[in-house]
Each structure stands twice: as C-alpha cells, then as structure tokens.
Structure 1
Amino acid sequence: MIRRLIPIMVALVLIAVVIVFSAATGLLQKYSHSTEKADLNEYFGLEEENEAAVLLDNAYSDEKAIIENDRYYISYSMVKDKLNDNFYFDSNEKLLLYTTPTETIRADSGSNEFIERNDTVYLALDYVKKYTNLEYNAYDTPNHLEIKYKWGTVNRADVTKNTQVRLAPDTKSPVLTEAASGDVVEVLDSQDAWTQVKSADGYLGYMENKMLDNYREEQENPVMNVADMVFPSQTRDSKICLGWHQVTNEAANGTLTDVMAQTLGVNVISPTWFSLSDNEGHISSIASASYVQQAHEMGLEVWGLADNFNPETDTYEVLSYTSKRAVLIQELIGKAGELQLDGINVDFENLSTETGDHFAQFIRELSIPCRERGIVLSVDNYVPKEYTEHYNRATQGKFADYVIIMGYDEHYAGSKESGSVASVDFVRDGIEQTLKDVPAEKVINAIPFYTRIWKETAKTQAELEQDSTYTMNVTSEAVGMAAAEKLIADHGVTAQWDDMAAQNYAEFQLDNALVKIWLEDEASIDVKMQLIKNNNLAGVACWKLGFEKSSVWEVIQKYL
C-alpha cells in the first residue's frame, strides 16, 4: 500500500514545487526591475546617422543638429529664437552676418561657419559660441547635444547606488542610461516614489526616490566668456521736442520760417526729404543745404526723414540683399555728411512680416556709420500690436538712439468704423508695450496735431447682404486742429468731454450723413503729455507742423 502511495506523493510534491516555483517566478517578475534597453534612436527621434538630438531648456527640440567634419551645426531658426538673435543670414548672397556696435562680421559659404541642407540653414555651434554666452556637451551612441544658455537656481540630488534612468516612472519601463553611485542629477519633478531627472549624460527620465539623497538647491555659475555689447548712444541730455515738417517738393523747403513761427520749445525738426527710389537701394532727395543752415541758426537740430513710400519700390527686395542695403546706407550717410545733418529719421512703414528680419539688420548696419559720425539715428514705429512684432523694437532699442512711437492712427483713412485717432488707452498701451523692449531714455512718443472728420451713412440692404459686419459706410478726412473746431462751430455744436477717449467729442447731422469728430486740442494733448512725463520718456514728436494751434505748445512745454 505504502509503495503505491509513494509515486502519488512524489507527484504531489513535484506539483507543489512547480506551483511554488511558478508563484515565485511571477512574484519575481512582478517586483523585479526590467533590464530592457530603450530604443534610443526612437527616443531621440533620430533617423540619419549624422543627426544629433538637441536638449534645450530641459526639453528635446523637434529640430535636430547635423554633424559634419566633426562639427555640430544647429538650425539658424534655433539660434535666432533661443540663443542669439543678432545673427543674420542673407539667403540671396549667401552671407552670415554678425553685427556689433562697431562692425559687421561676415562669413561666406566657403568658411564652413554655416551649411545649407534640405532648404534649411545650419550654423556651426562652435562659431555661435564665439559670440554667445553658452556651453554645450556632446554625447555619442546615439548622438545628442545639451546646450546651456540660461543660468539660475537649480535643484540637484546625489545618486546613492548604481541604478538606471528609465523612460517612465515604472520598474518595467525601458532603461535609458545607467547612473553610478556618486553621480549628480538635476531634479525636474518629484513624485511619491519617482523623480524626474536630467542625468549627467543628457537624458531626461525617471529614477526611484530611494536611489537619491541630498536634495538641494544650487546656484549655477553662468558662462561669461563673451562680454555684453556696449552701444554708445547719441541721446541728448535734454528732452526731445521734435516737429515733423512735411516737405513735398524742393520749393516747400522755403516754408521753414512759416511752420516754426508759432512753435515753442521745438529743438529738432525732421523734414520729409529722402525716399527709397528703386529696388537697388538708391534714394531720391529734395533736401536743401540752406534749409539746414537756417535751422541751425534757429537753434534746431535737423534729422532728415527717409521713407519707403514710393509705390514703385519693393522694400523687401532692397533690404533682403546685403549689397543693396549697403547702397542705401552709403547714400543716406553721404547725404547726412553733405548737408551736415544732425540725425536720420527712418520711417519705413507697412513692412511685411518677411521683411522684418531684414529691416532689423538694416538698422544694425546703419547704426555703425551713424555712431562713428555722431549722427542721431531714430526709427519710427507703430503702436505695438501682434501684427507689428516683426519690426523688432528690442533690436532697435539696442542699435538706434531713439525709438519713436507713432501714437496715432488708431482709426485711419481705411477704417471700417469711426473713432479717435489717438485715444488715451491706445496711447498708454503703445508706451507700455514699447517700454517692455526699449529703455525709457530712448523712447519718444509722437502725438497728432490732426483729427479726422468722420461721415457715416447707412448701408443699403444690398450692401448689408454683402457685408453685415459693419452697418454704416464710413469716410473720413484728416484736418488740423483749427479746421476741426471751426467746422463744429459753424454747425452750432458744442463738443463734450469723452472720458473714455480723453478727448472732446462732437457730432451733428449733415445732409444724409452723421458727422463725428474726436478733437485733438489743448485738453487731449495735455493728457498725452502727462503719459510722456509719467513714464519719463525721452520726449515728444509731433505730426505735423502747421496743423496745430499755437496754444498747444505751452501745454507741451509744461511737461518737458
């Protein structure tokens, strides 16, 4: 009997052993750490052998670096957006430029400081580093770069035992890299059992909290190999009171005495003399040396205005070529020297988005001969809006002497609805937004000496069916202060103060039209000048001389 039971007992023991072994194996698999390696090419998004992932701001960029001849190249857009926006690439003439206060440094395609691959421009990282405070570490198998250009307080911890950095906060997650006891990792985020880290070899992943100790904050030591550029400025010690003199032909230069007759405290006059005349960078001029001499005798500085209003020219075409910008700059500087101008006022308007980078480089390059010759460089700008960001006021604020806000045209000739030319909120916002990019001692706010006479007529049913966004047809005419007040008086209307606009407002019926007028007068100018004083701006500019009442000058001078 016993002999019969022995095989059964053996079988049961074997079954028990199998069960225990299976359970133990299951527990081991459940609680043990996976040794599976992550697919690092997939992790970094690498597809080509000469690509390298780029770690910036503790995140991997979608853009990859390129490795050629043992040099790392990163995209021009990455350099501009993240590292140093002072670089400029001329895609027409294949030049990479870097402009300082005293020179423009050039690298051509034969220098290997940049390459073009698949319609993308890449800059050599070691070349960028020559002009930028940054540091980088390069790793292989697979290729990845960590670029550091910001410094501050960081959280760090010490690795206490040899362990792994994993793709996800799970012991079964694939291993990205190994971490040795004594390594220091940067702590990005902490959870209950896991910490997100940046490893010593440039991986972003997770480590178990029990493998970390000595959590701490540390102050990073910034790289300071490249000194900040210093821009000697031609700004004046006194406040600027600039009047624009609209000169439409050579004969109009003879009106200087007339437009200055009723002014008070004007110390700069800016005649509209120069205009881009063709697509090669040449300018037309109606300037007068005798005008400059007369202005100087009156104690005025003369800042000749250069515009891009000629409809036969293409501003993008001119500014996107380094050689054409050189022609434009040479002619402007030549005229300034010939006429003994004190300054140049750049008034390039309606620039397309794609022209913005080229315009910024034009200002950089123009600033060098202006600085060398003591010529004041001022640049006119719209009130900052999202659609004018490409004017790059921050660059202007560095390289130019003055940035002038054209604090008007809130509502303009093409507006679909009536409104103020320069309400107080519009002007205030223009100043506040500009001061985010430009120091107050370089900011001049321009005020209007004109208003618009608006006429509203009801749309027909057919017009409403075509476009019902606005219910009225609107036309307008720009007039000076006295003309606007006379029109109101002639129709027996008394203007009332509009708190929202901070202007006197009047309306009346004329035939089948409703006339609306937001006046620019002593009261509205007073409010705008308060904003200029309260923000300690460099001064005021006025468009245009001859449109004002003489009484507004006392208001202006009260705040300068």
Structure 2
Amino acid sequence: MLALAAAAILAAYYWTVYVPSGKHEPPTFDGNPKPVFYQGGMLQDPAVGSKESLKLSFDTVQERIDPSVLYEQKSESTIITTQSKVVRLRTSQLTGMINEKPFTLKFPLEKSGGKLYLPIDPLRSFYRIDLRESEETGAVLLFLEGDTIRWLRTVSYEGKPDKTIAMRRDPSIKAPILADVRQAENLILWGEEGEWYRVQLTNGYRGYVRKSDAVVDREEKVPVNKEPDFQPKRPITGKINLTWEHVVSKNPDTSKIGEMPGVNVVSPTWFHLQDGEGNLQNLADPAYVQWSRSKGYHIWPIFSNGFDPKRTTEALSTYDKRLNMIKQLLSFSQLYGLDGINIDFENVDLKDKQNLVQFVRELTPLLHEQGLVVSIDVTPRSTNEMWSMFYDRKALIESVDYMMLMAYDEHWASSPKAGSVASLKWVEESIQGLLRQDKIPPSKLVLGIPFYTRVWTEETKNGKATVSSRAVFMEMPQRIIREQKLTPTFSEETGQNYIEYKEAGKLQRIWIEDETSVRARMKLVKELGLAGVASWRRGFEVPDAWNWIKEELAK
C-alpha cells in the first residue's frame, strides 16, 4: 500500500512538473480592434483603415516616429518638418503643401474616436517607416529606419510534418497554448526569459516558445535612407571669419571701410521683426551688397526679433505668422542675392522655447532649398530664463548649419560688479558647456568675440560703493595708456591685460581687449576644432585685429 501511495505521489508530481499543458486559449489583442505594435509592445491607439487607406493616430506618430510633429488647433494643421521638407496637412483636405508647393494626398487626415489620424502614404515618404499589416488579423507592426529585427525559425521534425510548436501565454510549460506554430515558421524575437524566447508572430500575436523549439535564423536591418547633406550655393573654404555690421537706420559708407584681411563673411543687421503678425523691417542696401561681392565676402544678414518678448510671442504663435516671416526672408534673399541668414533672437520668454525651435525647423529647409546657410546666435548657458534658458540648443543644432556663441558680456553694462567683458576662462567654460552638455559638434560652433570693452568707474556715494560702466572701442584703452602713461599688467585670472587709474578721485578699471586677448581666443578656436570666429562688431576694432585673427586661424 505504501509503495502504491508513493508511486501515485511521484506520478502526480511528474505530471505537475514535467508534463506540458495541452490547454488552448485563443489569443487576443485585449479588445484593440486594429492594434499597432512597436518593438513587441502594443501601442495605446489602434490604426484605422487598411492597406492603402491605413492611418496612424497623431499621438502614435508623435510618440514613436517624430516627437517634433506639430498639430496647430487654430488652423487644424499638422506640420511635419524634416531636414529638407516643411509639410503642412490640413484635416479633411486632400491637398497638402511641401515647401509651399501643393501636392495631392490619396486619403485625407480624419478624426476618429476624438483623435486625429494621419494617412500612411505621406508618412512613409517623409519618415521612411516600415509598416507591416497582417491580412489575417489586421495587426500592424511598425519598424523605424535603423531598427534591427531578429528572426527565429521554429525547428523541423523529420518524418513528423504535422507536429507543431506551442506558443504559450507565459514562459512555462503549464501556461495555456495561444498558437500551434508550424515547423520552420518565422517568429520575431523580442527577448529571452530563462529557457524561453519572447516572440511575436507576423500576425501580431505574442507569446513564448521554448528555446529548444526554435533557432536564431537571421537579423534584418531596416534601411536608413539618409537625406543628402546640404550644399550651400557658395561654400566657404577653411574657418569662418565673420564680422557683424551694426546697421541702425543707415548703412555705412563702404568707401570708408578699411581692408579686413581674412574676413570671409559679413553679417549686417538688416532684418528685424516689426510686429506680432510676422512683418519684417528691411534695412538692406544694394550698394553694400555690391561692395561685399567686390571684396569676395559672403553675406549672411541678421534677422532679429528686435529683442521684444511680446512681439516675439505673437509672431511665433502660429504657422501662418511664422511662414510670413520665412517668405519675406526668402524674398529678400532672392532680391539681394544673399548667401545665408543669421538668426538673432534675444530676450525671449521661456514659454516660447519650443515655438522658436519650430520656427527654425520650418525656416531652414526653405532657405536650404535656395542654397542659403542658416546660423543662429546663442548666449552661454546660464540660469537666466530670458537671456539663456529659452534656447533649446540641442534641438536648434539639428536644423541650423552653424551656432554662433556670443561669448561676451560676462560683466554687462549694468553689472553690479566690475569685471571683464569676456575673461578667457569664462569663454572656455562657455564653449565647453555647449560642447559637453548640449552636444554641439565643434565643427558647427562659431566663437563670437568682442571688439569692445568697458571702462568701469568705482566710487563711494553716501558711504556706499557704486559701480558704473561705459562701453568703448578697442582703441580707447590704448589712448588712455598713452595719455595716463600707464603700464598694463597681465591678469592670470582673466587671461587679459589690465589697467586701473584714478580720475577725479574715482577709480577707473579696464580689462583690455587687445592682441593678447584676441590671439588667446583664436587659439581656443583651433585647439577645440571650432568652425571659426564671429566678431562684434566691425568698426570697434583696431586695424591690426584682422591680422591677429587671420594669422592665428592660419596656423
């Protein structure tokens, strides 16, 4: 009797532990009528339609394909931007716009279940996605360019053609069978758990097969179709050597501009945001263009927001207003034969950070279509919202060709403390902040340097120390040195020459911009592999400054 009981217990144990369950359970998509899968996971929104009329939800596109795709409620527009295209699609319309040229959609955007759905036909051409729809279940498998698909193949049993492989709900032989998979059938491998593979059938159903029942077959790489690199209509050879030309109301008399050895780009402050509708003020001068051409200079005029935050907020708020600015810049570029545009948006509300990125994403493809170089000016990283934090430098560099770091005004006009306009250590730290934290490629970063300094006045009024300053050209400190018979001392802390003296009982302090400071910054450009230099501004320099820059860049 004891032997029989023991045998029964052993049999029950063997059955419980070693005998696979033969119970079947129909696979489901948890009530999802047309599921979309990415990397083995079922996405929240179903697809709608089928084959050519297949559509994905806007949320799916934004979350899985392109985080920058934008829906604008006011105009019911979906805006897609790539390196070379700006696409506008409007709900329920079969005509879209690519780079402001009309094209016809086979199927319109539509709303279903309160959600916006986008047709796959244009999506495939803009994003080169791979969508595989199962005729059996309607499930959609989404793959992005560059994805790797690992394929398994179920084993074959010689002489047993009808034998199937169990795909189970869980990684256990006791779990219900969801599908009896044929021999030598392909499965997508999404992971491993112990002695089990986590797999998906091409019809979308997911489960587990034992490792002994499948072998790794192959890897499939979804092709990456890189867009051609932008080629400017007038490429620059070597380092960029740009100087900004400050135009307030009247352009300079070019006959009075001296030689600027080494300069290859001039950037006059010509275009300014005039109102919240996106209309621009144009200060361009054909005579200046002609002079620039005769000197062999490239012309990248500045487009400024006028440093007016309210006006900027309004102009960036809608696609139509942003497009209004872009169309005017395109028109000016054609009219004057420009080579590029330099964007200079400053004093911007933090809430407009993303809208500025969107504007640049929409601007760049259209300017590139005309062969124009696009650059943007940014300040060093800081915690000041309207001076620094509104720049999303990582996002901006994905669109623009160059980023100009305005590495000056370390101590600004109304600074409570006297100091250098751009000490060498601060300049290097500012560069490194963009290179390391924002991942700006050195080959796209241009160092902005000052051709000015400040004379700081320190005095005591009513027992309280006060500081004031005035900006001066590079020549002024040299004149003061001669007149006051001063000997500059080198400041290790700032990497600059320094003077101080008394005038009317007040202490005057100057951290000098001269050959020492200019050459030191040019060495940073070379050592860090930066794209070049931009100087603010022409007219503030001493004539020799051009040679200092040219000589250092040529080394």
Q: Closer, same or farther in 2 for the Cα pair 1:358/1:373, shift >3 Å?
A: same
Greater mean alpha carbon deviation, residues 160-169 or residues 262-271: 160-169
Q: Would the aligned equivalents of 1:275 and 1:310 in 2 still touch at CA under 8 Å? A: no
1:135 has 2:130 as partner: yes
Q: Secondary structure at the match of 1:532?
A: helix
Q: Would the aligned equivalents of 2:50 and 2:138 in 1 still touch at CA under 8 Å? A: no
The TM-score, its normalising length taken from structure 2, stands at 0.73
Tell me which residue corresponds to 2:446.
Answer: 444
| Rounded Cα–Cα distance in structure 1 between residues aligned with 2:487 and 2:111 | 67
Q: Would the aligned equivalents of 1:135 and 1:223 in 2 still touch at CA under 8 Å? A: no
Structure 2 residue aligned with 1:208, among 204, 210, 214?
210
Displacement of 1:194 after TM fit?
3.2
| Rounded Cα–Cα distance in structure 2 between residues aligned with 1:272 and 1:433 | 30
1:545 has 2:544 as partner: no
Q: Which amino acid aligns with 1:234?
A: K
Q: Would the aligned equivalents of 2:83 and 2:399 in 1 still touch at CA under 8 Å? A: no
Displacement of 1:267 after TM fit?
3.2
Kindly provide the CA deviation profile for residues 173-200 of structure 1, in whole angstroms up to 9, marking residues without a partner as x. Answer: 5656554332344445556533444554
| Rounded Cα–Cα distance in structure 2 between residues aligned with 1:129 and 1:373 | 25
| Rounded Cα–Cα distance in structure 2 between residues aligned with 1:419 and 1:457 | 18
Q: Closer, same or farther in 2 for the Cα pair 1:92/1:519, shift >3 Å?
A: farther
Tell me which residue corresponds to 1:281.
Answer: 278
| Rounded Cα–Cα distance in structure 1 between residues aligned with 2:260 and 2:537 | 12
| Rounded Cα–Cα distance in structure 1 between residues aligned with 2:139 and 2:504 | 74
Alignment of 1:341-490 (within 5 A): 341-351=338-348, 355=352, 358-363=355-360, 365-367=362-364, 370-371=367-368, 375-383=372-380, 388-389=391-392, 392-397=395-400, 402-408=402-408, 421=422, 423-429=426-432, 432=435, 440=443, 443-451=445-453, 479-483=472-476
Alignment of 1:181-260 (within 5 A): 181-190=183-192, 192-202=194-204, 205-213=207-215, 215=216, 218-223=218-223, 228-229=227-228, 231-239=230-238, 240-250=240-250, 253-254=251-252, 256=254, 260=257
Tell me which residue corresponds to 1:496.
Answer: 490
Q: Would the aligned equivalents of 1:54 and 1:64 in 2 still touch at CA under 8 Å? A: no
Q: Would the aligned equivalents of 1:353 and 1:390 in 2 still touch at CA under 8 Å? A: no
Displacement of 1:148 after TM fit?
1.3
Tell me which residue corresponds to 2:159.
Answer: none
Q: Closer, same or farther in 2 for the Cα pair 1:374/1:31, shift >3 Å?
A: closer
Q: Would the aligned equivalents of 1:384 and 1:430 in 2 still touch at CA under 8 Å? A: yes
1:107 has 2:102 as partner: no
Q: Closer, same or farther in 2 for the Cα pair 1:155/1:298, shift >3 Å?
A: closer
| Rounded Cα–Cα distance in structure 1 between residues aligned with 2:397 and 2:235 | 20
| Rounded Cα–Cα distance in structure 1 between residues aligned with 2:533 and 2:249 | 26
Q: Would the aligned equivalents of 2:57 and 2:117 in 1 still touch at CA under 8 Å? A: yes
| Rounded Cα–Cα distance in structure 2 between residues aligned with 1:201 and 1:546 | 70
Q: Which amino acid aligns with 1:329?
A: I
Q: Which amino acid aligns with 2:404?
A: I
| Rounded Cα–Cα distance in structure 1 between residues aligned with 2:41 and 2:26 | 16
Alignment of 1:242-321 (within 5 A): 242-250=242-250, 253-254=251-252, 256=254, 260-261=257-258, 263-311=260-308, 313-321=310-318
| Rounded Cα–Cα distance in structure 2 between residues aligned with 1:177 and 1:298 | 76
Displacement of 1:130 after TM fit?
2.6
Q: Closer, same or farther in 2 for the Cα pair 1:396/1:75, shift >3 Å?
A: same
Kindly provide the CA deviation profile for residues 273-323 of structure 1, in whole angstroms up to 9, marking residues without a partner as x. Answer: 221111111112333334434444555444322111252743343234332
Greater mean alpha carbon deviation, residues 430-439 or residues 143-152: 430-439
Q: Closer, same or farther in 2 for the Cα pair 1:474/1:435, shift >3 Å?
A: same
Q: Would the aligned equivalents of 1:87 and 1:96 in 2 still touch at CA under 8 Å? A: yes
Displacement of 1:542 after TM fit?
0.9
Q: Secondary structure at the match of 2:48?
A: strand
Q: 5+ residue gaps in structure 2?
A: 94-106, 157-163, 383-388
Q: 5+ residue gaps in structure 1?
A: 1-12, 459-471
Q: Would the aligned equivalents of 2:40 and 2:190 in 1 still touch at CA under 8 Å? A: no
Displacement of 1:263 after TM fit?
3.9
Q: Secondary structure at the match of 1:110?
A: coil
Q: Closer, same or farther in 2 for the Cα pair 1:18/1:298, shift >3 Å?
A: closer
Q: Would the aligned equivalents of 2:397 and 2:403 in 1 still touch at CA under 8 Å? A: no
Greater mean alpha carbon deviation, residues 289-298 or residues 409-418: 409-418
Q: Would the aligned equivalents of 2:86 and 2:366 in 1 still touch at CA under 8 Å? A: no
Provide the aligned C-alpha RMSD in A.
4.8
Displacement of 1:147 after TM fit?
1.3
Q: Closer, same or farther in 2 for the Cα pair 1:144/1:484, shift >3 Å?
A: farther
The TM-score, its normalising length taken from structure 1, stands at 0.73
Q: Secondary structure at the match of 1:530?
A: helix
**Is the helix fraction higher in 1 or 2?**
1
Q: Would the aligned equivalents of 1:412 and 1:421 in 2 still touch at CA under 8 Å? A: no
Displacement of 1:26 after TM fit?
4.6
Alignment of 1:80-95 (within 5 A): 80=62, 82-84=64-66, 87-95=69-77
Question: What percent identity do the matched residue pairs reach?
Answer: 25
Displacement of 1:208 after TM fit?
2.6
Q: Secondary structure at the match of 2:131?
A: strand
